[in-house]
Amino acid sequence: GCAALADHLRAVTWPPKFRPHLLEKYDGTSNPSEFLQIYVTTITTVGGNTAVMASYFHVALTGPGRTWLMNLTPGSIYS
């Protein structure tokens, strides 16, 4: 998982058969608001809640965005 997430987010149990299908990963070149709307809809559709969205978010990023997130201080994201 993503070390920047607080323990309670890293320990989230994903719903049974959790298999989100993201059409594209966020790479910083598209509209972030649009991407987040699609991300929230996708995770919600497969049974996820806000904690699941947080724990899965690093998978939805690529490039500099993922690098930034993965290098934040461990345990610094609480929600």
Q: Band of the pLDDT at 74, cuts 50, 70, 90? A: very high
* 10-45 pLDDT per residue, tens: 999 999 999 999 889 999 999 999 999 999 999 999
- Mean per-residue pLDDT for 1-8? 95
| Long-range Cβ contacts of 68-76 (<8 Å, 24+ apart) | 69/2, 69/4, 70/2, 70/3, 70/4, 71/4, 72/4, 73/4, 74/3, 74/4, 75/3, 75/4, 75/5, 75/6, 75/7, 76/4, 76/6
Mean pLDDT estimate for the chain:
94
0.95 exceeded by pTM:
no
- The answer to whether the beta carbons of residues 51 and 40 sit under 8 Å apart is no
